[in-house]
Chain A
Amino acid sequence: GAVVSQHPSWVICKSGTSVKIECRSLDFQATTMFWYRQFPKQSLMLMATSNEGSKATYEQGVEKDKFLINHASLTLSTLTVTSAHPEDSSFYICSAEAAGPGPKQYFGPGTRLTVT
């Protein structure tokens, strides 16, 4: 149980284009999902918190107009990187909070974005 999927697992795009990444909770409903980015050999940095049916809350320093987050249902959140640049190349990971005893976040497998 508590499986989170991401699609695509890797993507290469040209500078200036936009890329959408999907995050799905497969066997549970998640009112809250989180988006992280991770650079090589570094830890996870929270980008934003996404709540179903409401606007995402972005961490300080994260451009909300560049990283568009939509949480349209209890099982799906999307991250769109708009007008991507090479410095946006990173490993993007989502997590979903499962209900029930004790707060637990389950992570997706990540999406490797390379902007050329």
Chain B
Amino acid sequence: EDQVTQSPEALRLQEGESSSLNCSYTVSGLRGLFWYRQDPGKGPEFLFTLYSAGEEKEKERLKATLTKKESFLHITAPKPEDSATYLCAVQRKAAGNKLTFGGGTRVLVKP
């Protein structure tokens, strides 16, 4: 059974205080690992897809990395508008296109 665990559950940051979110996964035959951002009362917004260990992707203040067991989402010099819940999900090769989500990390960036 695929398992995705995100930590911490919640993170309070001062504006400009960089930090990292962790996503540990157990999946047999990883097809892709996905990061999404979700604002309250809205659907998830796609951020990144990572396919193989060593891969990195960046978008503005966000950078995602992948190893064989975990992924990190680094937030550099965050701003209050980066406050959201960040979701990690995995897609297994033999499971069609289904995504298994972690519990998410709620990030609050205070000015």
B41 touches A112 (CB 8 A): yes
Query: Quick one: which of B44, B46, B96 contacts A49, CB cutoff 8 A?
Result: B96
The residue that B97 contacts in the complex, of A44, A93, A105, A106, with Cβ under 8 A, is A105
Q: Are B44 and A44 in contact (CB under 8 A)?
A: yes
Instruction: Kindly state whether residue B72 has any CB partner on chain A within 8 Å.
Output: no
Interface size on B, residues (CB 8 A): 23
Q: Please tell me if the beta carbons of A43 and B102 are within 8 angstroms of each other in the complex.
A: yes
Q: Nearest-CB distance from B39 to chain A (Å)?
A: 10
Is B69 positioned at the interface, with any CB of A under 8 Å from its CB? no
Given contacts A93-B44, A103-B32, contact A34 B98 (CB under 8 A): yes
Q: Most A CB atoms within 10 A — which of B36, B41, B43, B49?
A: B43
A44 and B101 in contact, given A93-B44, A109-B42, A110-B43 (Cβ under 8 angstroms): yes
Establish whether residues A44 and B87, one from each chain, have CB atoms under 8 Å apart when the complex forms: yes
CB of A107 within 8 A of CB of B49, answer: no
Q: Are A43 and B34 in contact (CB under 8 A)?
A: no
Interface size on A, residues (CB 8 A): 25
Cα-based distance from A90 to B64 in the complex (angstroms): 30
Whether A88 is near chain B, meaning CB under 8 Å from some CB there, is no
A25-B34 Cα distance, complex, nearest whole Å: 20
Q: How far is the CA of A106 from the CA of B32 in the complex (A)?
A: 15
In residues 1-31 of chain A, which contact B (Cβ within 8 Å)? 2, 4, 6
Rounded to whole angstroms, the CA-CA distance of A108 and B36 in the bound complex is 13
Q: For the complex, what is the distance from the CA of A109 to the CA of B39, rounded to whole Å?
A: 10
What is the CA–CA distance of A46 and B101 in the complex, to the nearest angstrom?
A: 9
* B interface list, Cβ under 8 A from A: 31-32, 34, 36, 41-46, 49, 51, 87, 91, 96-104
> Which residues of A are interface residues toward B (Cβ below 8 A)?
2, 4, 6, 32, 34, 42-46, 49, 91, 93, 95, 97, 102-110, 112
